[in-house]
Amino acid sequence: MTIVYSSSYDLHNMEFHVENKKRTDAIMETLRILDLKIVEPKSASPDDILRVHSQSHLDYVKGFAERGGGYLDYDTYMTSESYNVALLAAGGAIMASKVVLEDGGWAYSVARPPGHHATRDRAMGFCIFNNMAIAIENLRKRGSDHFLIVDFDVHYGNGTADIFYDDPNVMYISIHQDPRTLYPGTGFIDEMGAGEGMGYTMNIPMPPGSNSQDYIWILSRIMEPVKDEFKPSMVFLEAGFDAHKDDPLANIKVDEEFYTWIGSYFKNERVVAVLEGGYNLEALANSNLKFVKSLMGLESPIEDEVKASNPVKDVFARIKDKFSEYFRI
């Protein structure tokens, strides 16, 4: 029951931007009522970053911060401190994974900037380095392998998917709003991996308006057979909370019921969670409280029958058809 958090994340602060320090402030203020171990991360080293990212990307981001920062692209902003804070965020994910590797249970890196849009050589979508991919490659250096990633941010984690797209030892499942209607415009069902990694990327594009029942219904039918057949040594959760009905950046309508369910579903696994999106502060705080309490076994989902809309059932049928040769969904 470990939270990896540093107040230094506040240095990467843009009050004018939705991805600002109030996000982690809101989460930590809410989580302090729980009996949690809170540890301070160490910064990732350049060598840690280079296990995932190119030298040119590392040099460019560092130089951009040294020149004072600004917009890397139309929505990704850096301050003069952002390079150092991004190293700290990557280091938080590394520390969380080490805690779980050594002690079991779960750990949660509450860090910013987020990471799942960052590709090997590009920062985008508020993300500078891919925190989770860096943590996974650090574990591989230690001899651990065979990881399941479940990304429930409302946006497709294009960076994480791209990094592991041809890797049969990393199963990446992303549930996100239909990319025809939302950034980054990729994450379709037929994006299934490449080479030896074919079948190890699974996208679940959800129709706008999908709710907690839809999410629980489809994930419960997909994750159990995948988990049983893939047999991961560790589960990584790219924990985005911007699918919440009150979030301003998307059109999915889940509520705290879903975050309770997903935490409860994985509570008996070795789990590393890494914070991604979530931009309505009240919804972000309440959802994190439910998520963490359910990981702790203090909160359980409602036991009622779960139903899904017909469009979501259609999405499931298409996934089942595409992946039938890989998993017994």
pLDDT of the residue at 7:
85
**Torsion over CA of 34, 174, 17 and 67, rounded to 10 degrees?**
110
Q: How confident is the model at residue 205 (pLDDT cuts 50, 70, 90)?
A: very high
117 among known catalytic residues: yes
Type of residue at 28: M
Check pLDDT > 90 for residue 235: yes
- Contacts of residue 308, defined as CB under 8 A and 6 or more positions apart, other chains included, come to 213, 214, 217, 218, 316
Query: What is the Cα–Cα distance from 18 to 25, expressed in whole angstroms?
Result: 13
Check pLDDT > 90 for residue 153: yes
Q: How confident is the model at residue 302 (pLDDT cuts 50, 70, 90)?
A: confident
Q: Which of 12, 117, 155, 244 is catalytic?
A: 117
Check pLDDT > 90 for residue 271: yes
pLDDT of the residue at 136:
97
Of 238, 207, 246, 265, give the one whose Cα is nearest residue 26.
Answer: 246
Check pLDDT > 90 for residue 16: no
Q: How confident is the model at residue 293 (pLDDT cuts 50, 70, 90)?
A: very high
